[in-house]
Amino acid sequence: MVTADPLAMEAVERMVAALAHRGPDARAIRSLPGCCLGHTRLSIIDLATGRQPMGDPEGRYWITFNGEIYNYREIRRLLQEQGQRFRTTSDTEVILAAYARWGAAGLDRFRGMFAFAIWDQEARRLFAARDIFGEKPFYYACTPEGALLLASEIKALLASELLRPRLDLNTVDAYLALGYVPPDRTIYSNVQTLPPGHYLEWQDGRLRIERYWQPQLQEEPITLPEAGVRLAELLEQAVTRQMVADVPVGAFLSGGLDSSTIVALMQKQSPRPVKTFSVGFGSLINELPYARAVADRHGTEHHEIDLGTPPVAELLERMASVYDEPFADSAQLPNYLISEFARQTVKVVLSGDGGDELFGGYWWYPPLALSGKKSPSRLKWLILRTISKLLQDKVRKLFLHSAAQGMAARWPDMWTRDVMTQTYLRKPERTALWAERAPEVSAYAPGLYYRPPASTRGLNQGFYFDLTCYLPGDILVKVDRAAMAHGLEIRAPLLDRDLVEFALSLPASLKVEDDQTKIVFREACKGYWPPELLTRGKLGFGAPYRHWLSRPDMQDLKKHVFAGDSPLSRLLPGLSPESAGKNSYQTWILLVLGIWLERHHTGEG
């Protein structure tokens, strides 16, 4: 908190208490002239001397830091060669020294996930930064009195009691479109988020924000075998980096290609069986046999939990507090429950997040790729040819070509096609929900922040939106909040910056071609997988939300949330009673919003 208010300590104490789940091992506050820093610690590296807030030896710079810098030992050695002396063995001190030496340019040296703030006592300036994909959250707000508040979660900003949140109707519309709040905004008009790959400086009441990294999808010529060899090397490097810890490190194992690869590489370099964790939902979604096959192949210490039919209505109401903003991804529940399960055994787990965005793993990529390569007339010919080969099991290709033709006809460019595949409630549907309130709302459309550079071509335009919106706004929010609610740290080796920048340089045709996905990833990693994984479809830690919506406890919850006098109905006067009777994802999105409103709505907006 940057302020001259002598009562700042009390506000920061409340903020720190609100984040106790993220750092259950220790908490501390440091009051400095013009700034008060608080920290809750989850002890992972340098358990004895890595306490925060931490100052440099001269007492000029002070830091509070959330995350891990995996290559901190390399940076430390470089700084030592330049005369820097260290008092601890922590990555926190390395960040301080790197900033004192290189300033904002030091961010390009970090390989890790981070959100941190550094107060310069001499210049009376705050410097703060966030990692390239936003694995670690960062929120801020300016109070009416001119103080700057910073925190890892919105609940901590509100706990300061210095801010009255104002609901942002335009962001509600964005949530209705996507099922999550886009990562360049928040659900409140007076609370901001520092976007991934950005840093900010605050001095004399003035705020400046700069972007230091963004995805550059500039293809370089390379053959598939060459790309496979290089990717295998970078994957091993990334996993080695992210196993650095002074506590045991485990892994989430969904039985999919990404998590199975991470587990294989972890076990390859571990002298002891790696602890792996999997979740299933009885006969509804059961990936446990696939995960078990991977665990058996690599000899891990495997732990699994079959949740059967969890108390979904109760859990959804709990998620409204865990996530602070409306968040509809139904996989939040299995992620929350498996995090709770894994935390009984470890403090850190590695996951396979990021692989689908980087290497073309989602179902919508094959039709997108086809829509860009074939003209509509060419597609019609391919569909007719596919029909003639139905006896040769070409039904899937028929679907892909048909979907591609529809995309090409409806939307002129690849970026728009990708956005629309992920828009659950289209503009006319949202306008109908707002009814007479529609003039108050600017219909959401992703802005320039999500537009790729003009040099980006073809399928890479779609990849760009997923890398800048879906990955940081949905996937990484989901895993961070679900895990940190239990004091569990999640690491994503596939988001290692060196690996990412190589993946971004690969031709799209090495990722997706016709009905094939993750081509280069399969080339690099196929030796790590048991036969069962080679032909299975993608699920991940999915959730049977349609079945859940039909359960009696959920029927009761829907009836309550969709009632005519509910906060949801008052916000969206065009909401129809029929919405509560549907078991669709649109109903799920509205239900989650309604639950969140009941817990958080301030009465404004």
Where do runs of H (alpha helix) occur along 453-602? 459-465, 476-484, 497-505, 519-525, 545-549, 552-561, 567-571, 585-600
Q: How far apart are CA 414 and CA 425, in angstroms?
A: 20
Residue 546 — pLDDT band, cuts 50, 70, 90? Answer: confident
- Residue spans of the domains in the chain: they are 8-211, 224-359+462-534, 365-421, 546-600
CB 276 within 8 Å of CB 250: yes
Residue with tokens 């430390």: 76
* Count of alpha carbons within 13 angstroms of residue 528, beta-carbon side: 24
Q: What is the pLDDT of residue 540?
A: 54
Residues shown for the chain: 605
Indicate whether 543 pLDDT > 90: no
- Show the tokens assigned to 580: 């509560």
Q: How far apart are CA 125 and CA 61, in angstroms?
A: 10
Bridge partners of residue 250, in order along the sequence: 349
41-74: per-residue pLDDT in tens?
888 877 777 788 999 999 999 999 999 999 999 9
Residue 43: count of CB within 10 angstroms of its CB: 17
* Cβ-based burial of 60 (10 A; exposed 0-12, middle 13-18, buried ≥19): middle
Q: Which CATH number fits domain 8-211: 2.60.40.10, 3.40.50.140, 3.30.565.10, 3.60.20.10?
A: 3.60.20.10
Which CATH fold would you assign to the domain 224-359+462-534? Rossmann fold (3.40.50)
451-507: per-residue pLDDT in tens?
999 999 999 999 999 999 999 999 999 999 999 999 999 999 999 999 999 999 999
Indicate whether 367 pLDDT > 90: no
327-364: per-residue pLDDT in tens?
999 999 999 999 999 999 999 999 999 999 999 999 88
Element housing 415 (H / E) = helix 414-421
Bridge partners of residue 26, in order along the sequence: 41
Where do runs of H (alpha helix) occur along 179-280? 224-242, 257-269
Residue 390 — pLDDT band, cuts 50, 70, 90? Answer: very low
The edge-to-edge listing of strands for the beta sheet with 192-193 is 148-151, 139-142, 192-193
CB 430 within 8 Å of CB 178: no
